[in-house]
Homo-oligomer: A and B are copies of this chain.
Amino acid sequence: MLNVAIVGPGLVGKELLHQLNSHATHAAKVNSQVVQLPVVGIINSRRMLLGPVTPDGKRAPLPSLGAWADQLQGESNASTAASLSAFVDELVATHQPTVVVDCTSSLEVAQQYPAWLAKGLHVVTPNKKGFSSEWSLYEAITKHSRLGNASDPTAPWVYHESTVGAGLPVLNSLYDLVKTGDEIVKIEGIFSGTLSYLFNEFSSPTAGASATKSFSDIVTVAKSLGYTEPDPRDDLNGMDVARKVTILARVAGLKVSLDDLAVENIVPEALRSAPSPDAFMQQLPDFDAHFSDLNDQAQHSKTVLRYVGVVDPKGQSSVKLMKYPVDHPFANLKGSDNIIAFTTKYFPNPLIIQGAGAGAAVTAFGIFSDIIKVAERV
């Protein structure tokens, strides 16, 4: 039995609560095959909910998980004003195995992990900040958890599958390779659903150059579909991919930080200082020829353009626009799928994983799988 507490029930957290709630119903029916995962607490930036403490000193699940959203409203008697430190202290007080699931993307929250771990709480999160910001934070998370204390049965668990490729089994596969002593030769992948979509549309292995839409048109469509950040430059500057490359590199055993990576920002230099997203979008068509030239060159050599992240243990890890032959797995990607290729001593012909790498359902699935992994280990 593992208690679950959720920090930040936004889009992903809501979906996770929905999946957990369905699971609880499912577990009640077939509990021989499904672990029990009582949700005992939920906190957002304003309010928090905690299950009652029973007479034997255990924290009971939230009485009506389906109603948490209403109960987190300020007017509800069920919730109280949010205090993350009080929330955590309450969780620790009952001495039960408990996992804190950080569904925020906040650095401030991630900076609390070492303290939570030191108190014996397990951590599961899709939040990239703790694993891709300053090295000292990553080191502290490692030092206070099983990540850095494999043989210490009292050290709490940390899982963060959904920080790279959402629910795709990327990090758990990499951890398996590392733990068994495999040697990582190269990790290469398309880690941004947005940039996957843009270049799958722009640089197709079947369409000739003439059939290609302009780059700015594709960005406009992607923005209107909600595939990009509100300011598409936050996708095109490569920083989101760079965080994922940093995480992969660190899990692979490299002491790398964001600043160590060579990151190719594909926002045209002149547009980086455009005062607003709208101004950026208005001026982007002026650079269509630049992107079309790159694409024509690629097509001329029977390759396509893909924006990739690369972990190179013996060289410099990087984020860049690359060309791939038309029969390469990266060339035949569809929609906004992610893809990752691990080249190792065991897998000289790479181990490849591909599929949806963004979206609430698959991100929540990755978190949920991680929670079950903790539950199976406590």
Bound together, the chains give a CA A208 to CA B1 distance in angstroms of 59
Give residues 183-199 of A contacting B (CB, 8 Å).
none
Q: Is A14 an interface residue (CB 8 A)?
A: no
Q: Is the CB of A149 within 8 A of B182?
A: no
Inter-chain contacts of A177 with B (CB < 8 A)? 365
Give residues 146-173 of A contacting B (CB, 8 Å).
146-151, 167-169, 172-173
Shortest CB-to-CB span from A299 to chain B, Å, is 16
Q: Is the CB of B355 within 8 A of A181?
A: no
Q: Is A223 an interface residue (CB 8 A)?
A: no
**In the complex, residue of chain B having the shortest beta-carbon distance to the beta carbon of A351:** B355
Q: Mark A201-212, 1 if CB is under 8 A from B, else 0.
A: 000011000000
Chain A binding surface SS class:
loop
Q: Pick the interface stretch among A99-107, A131-139, A303-311, A327-335.
A: A327-335
Of B205, B345, B368, B377, the contact of A376 (CB 8 Å cutoff): B377
Most buried by B among A33, A169, A180, A349: A180
Give residues 1-33 of A contacting B (CB, 8 Å).
1, 19, 22-23, 26, 31-33
Q: Is the CB of A180 within 8 A of B346?
A: no
Bound together, the chains give a CA A176 to CA B31 distance in angstroms of 16
Q: Is the CB of B352 within 8 A of A354?
A: yes
Q: Is A35 an interface residue (CB 8 A)?
A: yes
Inter-chain contacts of A355 with B (CB < 8 A)? 347, 349-352
Q: Is the CB of A26 within 8 A of B169?
A: no
Contact A31-B372, Cβ < 8 Å, known A356-B347, A365-B180: no
Q: Is the CB of B362 within 8 A of A347?
A: yes
Shortest CB-to-CB span from A46 to chain B, Å, is 29
Give residues 356-377 of A contacting B (CB, 8 Å).
356, 361-362, 365, 368-369, 372, 376-377
What's the interface size class on A, roughly?
Answer: 35 or more
Shortest CB-to-CB span from A357 to chain B, Å, is 10
Q: Is the CB of A346 within 8 A of B372?
A: no
Q: Is the CB of B35 within 8 A of A151?
A: yes
Shortest CB-to-CB span from A363 to chain B, Å, is 10
Of B33, B181, B376, the contact of A148 (CB 8 Å cutoff): B33
A→B interface (CB under 8 Å): 1, 19, 22-23, 26, 31-36, 146-151, 167-169, 172-173, 176-177, 179-182, 205-206, 327, 329, 332, 334-335, 337, 345-347, 349-356, 361-362, 365, 368-369, 372, 376-377
Q: Sort A-B residue pairs by CB-CB distance and give the 7 closest, nearest first.
A: A351-B355, A176-B369, A180-B368, A352-B354, A35-B150, A169-B169, A169-B173
